[in-house]
Chains A and B, each alone.
Chain A
Amino acid sequence: MSSIAKKENLVYQKPALRTEKPYHYCPGCGHGVVHNVILEVLEEMGLQDKAIGIAPVGCAVLAYDYLNIDMQQAAHGRAPALASAVSRMMPDKAVFTYQGDGDLAAIGTAETIHACNRGENIVIFFVNNGIYGMTGGQMAPTTLPGMTSSTSPHGRDVKTMGGPMKITEMVAQLDGVYMCTRQSVHTPGNVRKLKKAIRQAFENQQNHKGLSFIEIVSNCNSGWKMTPLASNKWMEENMFPVYPLGDIKVDGKLVK
């Protein structure tokens, strides 16, 4: 049997815009897939020279080591403010922020909401795993009711700690937000849907339509203390009822 592993038969390989450095993320973490899909879209749209990414504080703080595009690092939670400045100074660049839930929905809530309200011409990627993954699994604003974390060992008590913050639904209400969607990356179908959404977001951005906000519900298997496959199943059963997948705002109109 002859091998078909030849250049003309190639259908998928590591994105060309990724550096050779292996990801530091835990095995099975959704961050890697989201990085790969963003890079594939930037490559397909020929935006590698125009893209400027803003790295957050959190697990993805080292994103600039892996994405072979121009990157800038913001103070904790301030990525949308920095992205606003970059996109105003260089309006033709493809500016995006890449943030987790501790960064975007906790310390950076004000910056996020005001950047969305001003309708800055940027793309925001919000990776939501319901926990502070990097610092050891503390409770985040997005933690589910009853969910245990290192700072809520008896489960999140809604009476004293509040409920999960649905920041994607909140920013969808703002006029400056042109597109708002929630996706995930745990199955091939969901990855393909996310890729379509990311392409739409960068097209909006290139056409100066306003802000595009993409939430990705992801797992944190080490923070949740599960295997990658068990955490994906747990995410389907527990995260999706609270954070339902799908488009929330399309072309400036609410659809949900």
Chain B
Amino acid sequence: MAKFKGEIIIDVEKCKGCQVCAPACSFGCIGFSPKVNAKGYNYAVLEKPDACIGCANCAIVCPDAVITVYKAKVE
């Protein structure tokens, strides 16, 4: 069975750190940075890049659409 690998790119300066994306991920890939962005929010980061399958669940619940998702098949 072909497996998928995903990657998300988060626009950290536009992220408001609302944390709605974290429970949307079935694999718990998303964490929050102890650092803050220019607006003062603890922005989201991809903590487990190997577990991401590119399902885009995090991106579609993100109110500010700061997540861009890529997905590729791996043999």
Q: Which A residues contact B (CB, under 8 angstroms)?
A: 3-6, 9-15, 18, 22-23, 25-33, 36, 185-188, 191-192, 227-229, 232
Contacts and interface: CB of A to CB of B under 8 A. Distances in A.
Interface in B1-48: 5-7, 9, 14, 16-20, 23-24, 41
Contacts of A12: 56, 59-60, 67-69
Given A3-B7, A11-B54, A228-B19, A18 B61 contact: no
B61 A191 contact: yes
27 contacts: A4-B70, A4-B72, A9-B72, A10-B70, A11-B6, A11-B54, A11-B70, A12-B68, A12-B69, A13-B69, A14-B65, A15-B65, A22-B14, A23-B64, A27-B16, A27-B18, A27-B63, A28-B20, A32-B64, A33-B61, A186-B20, A188-B57, A188-B60, A188-B61, A227-B19, A229-B19, A229-B23
Contacts of B68: 5, 10, 12-14
A187 B61 contact: yes
Interface of B: 5-7, 9, 14, 16-20, 23-24, 41, 54, 56-57, 59-72
Nearest to B25: A188
Nearest to B63: A32
A22 B64 contact: yes
A228 B65 contact: no
Contacts of A31: 63
Nearest to A233: B23
Given A28-B18, A187-B24, A36 B65 contact: yes
Contacts of B65: 13-15, 18, 32, 36
A33 B63 contact: yes
A100 B74 CA distance: 45
